[in-house]
Structure 1
């Protein structure tokens, strides 16, 4: 026993910083979650979700690097140009008429030239229908702010659609909304849903992911359904546009109407002499100077002899805090389509006065549109009086039987 080493028993510290630290750890509650304590162990659980999050964050960073655009639009901006583009027999004119009817509560008998309507308290629209022509497509792609691309769902995308999209990529891509028509030709709902999905993904491939695509299911009395057209018009009314650099630095005019003011006597003597043409329209882009050279598509370069500022034919309504527009503020300006009693021809202007009695005061009770109701309102004698004065002849050559004979 004497040879064995006697070692001291370890005595724990009862005081000091180390002892206090150990005492605090005895009843300690963990505040951090395992993911917070060891983040590398929980780094990637869903690869696709992580890829989307990274892509989104990079997109936000890239947007911050963009130089902010200077808004050059005046206090009262010109109307937004909405172009209706599509192959023939796809329903462009019908959609044109339905959009105008939704905004202005008027139906156009014939669509000709641009039509300007008031779409809201601070937005007006100039609607243009694009012909099935490569030159018209090029001209529309240069000036359109929004393109309604109509696609026949029963047939699919046609060559004209791809041609127009290629033209848009050259001239600065405007906002594009797809509209599927002729969906009433599908009898099977399952086939229609598959077609919608296939055309939507193809449309996203051609334009961009998430591009808006509307569906016009069918026609009622020669028009598209009101709710579907109304939803389309609501999207158009609130849509935001990013100004294109080329357009905001160059002035351009879409002519709403045109008049030939050449001397008729000179034209009679020389039919091929130079013409003087007066063009009316809203100036877009930047300020246009007088006596500058302008380019007219399909004609060439010409110089402006004179330019004047005219009052707005379709002004914006008063900017009061109201939810909707009144009937007077739902204005429409369509000089080439004959709306408003004025029709512009090539060499004359026709004003519809409505006949010699149009300026007289209207009667207090105007005749209704229904013929049956009009005939009931024009009745002078009541039904019992007519029955009393009526008579019936039973046989030919005999005296007629009256109401008094029946009572006797």
Structure 2
């Protein structure tokens, strides 16, 4: 037999780690001051320290600015949002998607500006800008927010740089970039590289950190709902820095016009001077009556008459405590597109009544309430006109107006007189009505008696 002492097995001894993360962690002490050197990561050079201090001071000074007086009224005019971009980039499609987001209905034909109540204190006027240098110049002078659309499959075009140069000259508005046609790029790596390249190029032209939205694809000829919702949400909360020239000069973006010239004068001379009426919200400062104005493409003119009209697209009632808007409060005003129930044509104004079914009441009302509303006279008036007859086609025995409770024999003369008057009234049209009785018939009745 072999003893157990002879079969003893020798194991490999444990060798503890001398380097590594666990060794450092075990060697740390709980005192924070022991393992933190406050001077370990500071500047070793006085020149670098001076540069850092100077840069921090410059950043603080750039944030300081002179306070600007807010000239906007209590109920400000709608914010002008211009959709700018080259041809075939998707401007009309984006406008239709934004309208569908707000009014919950699809719009096919759009003409002229469209104003929508987007919040309790904000209204937005959407303008689709044509690919024309004159239109771009006009919009760059009045736009508060610009949706600059860029074709991602092609890149920046000449029209984009021209419009940015116009904005820099006339007053830089708030600009948001929108990339479209991203679904044309199939490879993910190329798509990622294109987004990064266009974003930095856009930042170079506008400013570092400018907002850029991506419209990745389309479903049923409409952009994706979530992407449109994010864009609309950002439009509703955007803040705008006031421009000194705009706040000190009045201007109007006309959303509707009417030709008031005599048609006979136009028939005789097609080039005759016209008399037109222009409608729109006054922006900037106050506009005086009979003041000189400039109409782009026409020239300098003078206002003949100026009137204040009721707001066609008012803000909701501020007394309500609801945070969100009701569907009925989302009013839309598009004079030339036929939205909102009113369409302005060259010759007439068309109002949508909703058909004959719109006049019928949807809910049944109480019959007692309907009966009270149909009353033409009160109970007191009916009691004053009350008279009692014993037999049909007979004389009235009691006249409530003249009855004082006395005996018949004591006042025979007065009674006979009242009976004669009632008789003449009853004989006027044979049915007890006195509305058609003439004075000649009453006199002839008295003489016969």
> What is the TM-score with the length of structure 2 in the denominator?
0.69
The 1-side partners of 2:240 and 2:227 are apart by 23
- Total equivalences in the alignment: 330
1:248 Cα deviation (Å)? 0.1
After TM superposition, what 4+ stretches of structure 1 lie above 6 angstroms from structure 2?
A: 47-53
Larger radius of gyration between Structure 1 and Structure 2: 2
**Where in structure 2 are the equivalents of 1:290-305 lying within 5 Å?**
290-305=289-304
Give the 3 Å change call, closer, same or farther, for CA 49–105 of structure 1 in structure 2. farther
Give the 3 Å change call, closer, same or farther, for CA 360–217 of structure 1 in structure 2. same
1:59 Cα deviation (Å)? 2.6
The 2-side partners of 1:57 and 1:107 are apart by 53
The 2-side partners of 1:279 and 1:50 are apart by 61
Q: Higher relative contact order at CA 8 Å, sep ≥6: structure 1 or structure 2?
A: 1
Match of 2:170 in 1: 171
Match of 1:265 in 2: 264
Match of 1:347 in 2: 347
**Where in structure 2 are the equivalents of 1:4-23 lying within 5 Å?**
none
SS of residue matched to 2:285: coil
Give the 3 Å change call, closer, same or farther, for CA 177–53 of structure 1 in structure 2. farther
**Where in structure 2 are the equivalents of 1:6-405 lying within 5 Å?**
35=38, 42-43=42-43, 55=55, 57-64=57-64, 66-319=65-318, 320-353=320-353, 357=356, 359-361=358-360
Q: Is the 8 A contact 1:84 1:127 kept in 2?
A: yes
1:273 Cα deviation (Å)? 1.2
Moved more, 55-64 or 88-97: 55-64
SS of residue matched to 1:271: coil
Residue deviations 1:326-380 (CA, integer Å, cap 9, x gap): 111111111111112322223333334456x45553889xxxxxxxxxxxxxxxx
Give the 3 Å change call, closer, same or farther, for CA 247–56 of structure 1 in structure 2. farther
1:191 Cα deviation (Å)? 1.1
Q: Is the 8 A contact 1:149 1:179 kept in 2?
A: yes
Match of 1:368 in 2: none
The 1-side partners of 2:49 and 2:322 are apart by 44
Q: Is the 8 A contact 2:84 2:91 kept in 1?
A: yes
Give the 3 Å change call, closer, same or farther, for CA 271–44 of structure 1 in structure 2. farther
The 2-side partners of 1:61 and 1:213 are apart by 28
1:266 Cα deviation (Å)? 1.8
The 2-side partners of 1:325 and 1:49 are apart by 54
Give the 3 Å change call, closer, same or farther, for CA 308–164 of structure 1 in structure 2. same
Aligned-CA RMSD value: 2.7
The 2-side partners of 1:231 and 1:48 are apart by 43
SS of residue matched to 1:84: strand
1:210 Cα deviation (Å)? 0.3
Give the 3 Å change call, closer, same or farther, for CA 184–56 of structure 1 in structure 2. farther
Give the 3 Å change call, closer, same or farther, for CA 104–57 of structure 1 in structure 2. farther
Residue deviations 1:71-112 (CA, integer Å, cap 9, x gap): 000001111110000000000001011112212223322111
SS of residue matched to 1:120: coil
Q: Is the 8 A contact 2:331 2:340 kept in 1?
A: no
Residue deviations 1:10-52 (CA, integer Å, cap 9, x gap): xxxxxxxxxxxxxxxxxxxx99x753xx69x82269x999978
1:267 Cα deviation (Å)? 1.6
Q: Is the 8 A contact 1:44 1:50 kept in 2?
A: no
Give the 3 Å change call, closer, same or farther, for CA 43–337 of structure 1 in structure 2. same
Give the 3 Å change call, closer, same or farther, for CA 56–196 of structure 1 in structure 2. farther
SS of residue matched to 1:155: coil
Give the 3 Å change call, closer, same or farther, for CA 288–228 of structure 1 in structure 2. same
1:230 Cα deviation (Å)? 0.4
Structure 1 spans left out of the alignment, 5+ residues:
1-29, 365-408
Q: Is the 8 A contact 2:43 2:49 kept in 1?
A: no
The 2-side partners of 1:112 and 1:204 are apart by 33
Q: Is the 8 A contact 1:108 1:337 kept in 2?
A: no
Q: Is the 8 A contact 1:81 1:145 kept in 2?
A: yes
Residue deviations 1:100-126 (CA, integer Å, cap 9, x gap): 221222332211111001111111101
Structure 2 spans left out of the alignment, 5+ residues:
1-32, 364-449
The 1-side partners of 2:52 and 2:361 are apart by 68
Match of 2:11 in 1: none
Give the 3 Å change call, closer, same or farther, for CA 55–113 of structure 1 in structure 2. farther
Give the 3 Å change call, closer, same or farther, for CA 52–331 of structure 1 in structure 2. farther
